[in-house]
Structure 1
Amino acid sequence: MSKVARLRHALPMSPDINAAVADLDKAIADAVDAAKEAGLPQGLIVSLLHGHAHAQTHQMVTNDH
């Protein structure tokens, strides 16, 4: 793990933001676990997550949110 960098926001984040990030992370992890238990292939799970990440990135760079 020596090549893993911890990213930090330039300014301290509020407890509300930290809680929202933790909730989002847990929801994603729970959804991935449920998908695996339902028998979805791991590649499909990854591709769906990648597609959502790509769409969100597109919205950010085009200011189309």
Structure 2
Amino acid sequence: MSDVTRLHHALPLSPAINKAVTELDATIAKAIDAAKAAGLPQGLVVSILHGHAQVQTSIMVS
């Protein structure tokens, strides 16, 4: 996912947060690659990710 442009926060982020974001991105990319290699349909991968995003959004606005 190196072709993804990150939006930066208005304030500088700590190195720990930057490291966590980079690790999260890499882990998600590896999981997607593993799922595709295992034969999961791309639509299922997308729907699972979308479901997690909706849950996290709901938590943030609660």
TM-score normalised according to structure 1 size: 0.85
Alignment of 1:1-65 (within 5 A): 6-62=6-62
The structure-2 alpha-carbon separation of the partners of 1:6 and 1:43, relative to structure 1 and needing over 3 Å to count, comes to same
Give the residue type in structure 2 aligned to 1:9. H
> What CA distance in whole angstroms lies between the structure 1 residues aligned with 2:51 and 2:12?
30
Percent identity, aligned pairs only? 67
CA deviation after TM superposition for structure 1 residue 50, in Å: 0.2
The count of aligned residue pairs is 58
Moved beyond 4 Å, runs of 4+:
none
Larger Rg: 1
Using CA pairs under 8 Å that are at least 6 residues apart, name the structure with larger relative contact order, 1 or 2: 2
CA deviation after TM superposition for structure 1 residue 14, in Å: 0.4
TM-align CA RMSD: 1.1
> What CA distance in whole angstroms lies between the structure 2 residues aligned with 1:6 and 1:22?
10
Gaps of 5+ in 1: none
Gaps of 5+ in 2: none
